[in-house]
Chains A and B, each alone.
Chain A
Amino acid sequence: MAVDVPETVTTALADQQVEGRVCLEAGAGVGNTTAGLLAAGAKRVYAVTNDADHAATVRDRVDDKNADRVAVIEADLRATPLATDSVDLVTAHGLCNVLPPTELDAIAAELTRIAKPDSRLVVDDYAVPPADAAVNRLFALENAAARVVDGRPALTFYPPAVLAAVFADHHWTVERRKALLDPVPWTEAHLDAHAEVVRAYAAALPDSLGEPLTAMADDLVAAIGSERTGTMYSLAFRLADM
């Protein structure tokens, strides 16, 4: 991997047994956790994403020498082609905030199916940002655009207790919790990535609706600039050995 592994990933994995384990990165994004798992000596990493661009990015990032340890899989996390009881460690780094509440349970069920008994799960995500955070305005716009186009929110911030409860229903027990970022640095690059989501939704709408949405997103990015607010947490779970 030519690219640095974020400290958030390294920290979340630091107390996990990765070396020699078969791992699943649920929601591969640009492959940051795949990079971290490979660096920590994973035997094999399944990087699952439903986004073709992300899949291509992850494939690009994997060095030739690691190619035989990674399988990038384009699939819906509610129904993957992976075998039952085939994975030792599941990671969901920054995944849940892009999942609507209605999908959480089905994804938890699928990840549990794939995970071996006594396996581990690391869920890293954002706590609900403080009510006075400026980024909330951009996130609200993003959700409004997503609801108009897709009928579902783009972002949902789950308190750790909620995700703990969702996975508890599938026999996962929280073994440790820690703060990865406090505060979270929402940089210009992050805000622009969120504005880009708004622009993509806006492009699917008639100009009369899409153009003002895009203008609002651009204005918000310019007005906010960057902001440090809220926290990112990490939960490590163990699956009951049944």
Chain B
Amino acid sequence: METRALGDTGQESTVLTFGSIALNWLEQEGANQLIELVLDHGVNHFDVAPTYGDAELKLGPKLRQYRDDIFLGCKTQEREYEGAARKIDRSLDRLGIDTIDLYQIHGLEYEDELDTITADGGALDAIREAKAAGKIDHIGLTSHGNPKLILDAIDRIDDLETVMFPLNPVVAGKDGDEYDYEAVLERCDAEGIGTLGIKAFAKGSWPSTDELPEADRPYANWYEPVDTPEAIRERFDFAAAQGLDTVVSPGDPKLVAMVLDAASRSEGMDEARQRTVIEEARHDDSPVPEQLHH
């Protein structure tokens, strides 16, 4: 599988990162098998979080077995020192390892959270302390909310080395500032910050719970995923062509084998086809009266 430099971290990550939340839905034996499958495809970057049910615990055994082959990202939703310090130790303990390669401030949504994180006694103090103590190698950030906030975070956190954010044809086709991840990609490229893409495989929101109760959803994802080999290949190729360093696999284990295959066989996507994919997605939910042409 193709590898790309993860910003200036020195890490060469495979263009597919394994979203280890998928392990949460499996028993230990199935989790072990899935990790073996992922490694068989050459994937060297895994991502996990303490909020993903038992994922850390289920990742642990194979992570320890193959520790040198896996660059591991983990995260915290804590915003203050104490909570973050505790979560780092807890994740290390649950994973059964000494060092997390990339530790990410998770799910940044509001400006005031950034204030808290960067203030004295904020989560960053704990993360930097852990880095100095060798518990963490690199510092990152994830945000599903707002590209502008990511840019602010880059301004305010000098030692930020990676960012993770959503990127798919629906997002890429929208013009508003709230979708301008292109600006984030450009900024990261200029500053040597690594980029990880999520929601590459999102087809749309689930129907309302009145229409489809959560317990009746066929996939574990927060969103309804694309689920055919063709669509998955296209979504992977699209995301990988946007300039991301790596694309995170979807959270449902049933999709992972198809995504591994897509990433292994990827031959890129030319720009005219990227526009085809964006145009098609744009017309799925167009606010403009339809016309004959594109």
Contacts and interface: CB of A to CB of B under 8 A. Distances in A.
A130 interface: no
Contacts of A5: 175
Given A4-B175, A7-B278, A182-B276, A98 B286 contact: no
Question: Which of A7, A11, A57, A187 neighbours the largest number of chain B CB atoms within 10 Å of its CB?
Answer: A7
A185 B276 contact: yes
A192 B292 CA distance: 9
Interface string A44-62: 0000000000100100010
A98 B292 CA distance: 9
A181 B294 contact: yes
Contacts of A232: 294
A67 to B, nearest CB: 19
Given A181-B276, A189-B286, A29 B293 contact: yes
A120 interface: no
Interface string A84-105: 0000000001100110000000
B269 to A, nearest CB: 11
A181 B278 CA distance: 10
B282 A194 contact: no
A134 to B, nearest CB: 16
Task: Please classify the interface of chain A as helix (H, G, I), strand (E, B), loop, or mixed, using the class held by over half of its residues.
Answer: mixed
B155 interface: no
A7 B173 contact: yes
A228 interface: yes
Nearest to B277: A185
A30 B173 contact: no
Contact of B283 (A2, A39, A187, A231): A187
B286 A184 contact: no
B270 A182 contact: yes
Interface size class of B (residues with CB under 8 A): 20 to 34
A3 B287 contact: yes
Contacts of B279: 6-8, 181, 185
Contacts of A126: 293
Contacts of A181: 272, 275-276, 279, 294
Interface string A1-34: 0111111100100000000000000000110100
Contacts of B276: 181-185, 228
Contacts of B283: 185, 187, 189-190
A181 B269 CA distance: 12
Interface in A209-239: 226, 228, 231-232
Nearest to A197: B292
Given A189-B283, A190-B283, A7 B275 contact: yes
A240 interface: no
A29 B291 contact: yes
B292 A6 contact: no
A180 interface: yes
Interface string B163-207: 000000000011110000000000000000000000000000000
B273 interface: yes
Contact of B292 (A8, A180, A193, A231): A193
B289 interface: yes
Nearest to A53: B289
Question: Which of A4, A126, A179 neighbours the largest number of chain B CB atoms within 10 Å of its CB?
Answer: A4
A94 B273 contact: no
A235 to B, nearest CB: 15
A44 B291 CA distance: 24
A194 B294 CA distance: 12
Given A94-B294, A98-B292, A232-B294, A187 B287 contact: no
A181 B276 CA distance: 5
A4 B174 CA distance: 6
A30 B288 contact: yes
Contacts of A8: 275, 279, 294
A193 B270 CA distance: 28
Interface in B253-294: 270-280, 282-284, 286-294
Given A4-B173, A192-B290, 19 more contacts: A4-B175, A8-B294, A11-B271, A29-B293, A57-B288, A93-B293, A94-B292, A94-B293, A94-B294, A97-B293, A98-B292, A178-B272, A180-B272, A180-B294, A181-B275, A182-B276, A183-B276, A187-B284, A228-B276
Interface of A: 2-8, 11, 29-30, 32, 39, 54, 57, 61, 93-94, 97-98, 126, 178-185, 187, 189-190, 192-194, 197, 226, 228, 231-232
10 contacts: A8-B294, A11-B275, A93-B293, A97-B293, A126-B293, A181-B276, A182-B270, A182-B276, A193-B291, A228-B276
Which 5 pairs of residues, A with B, have the shortest CB-CB distance?
A94-B293, A185-B280, A182-B272, A179-B272, A187-B283
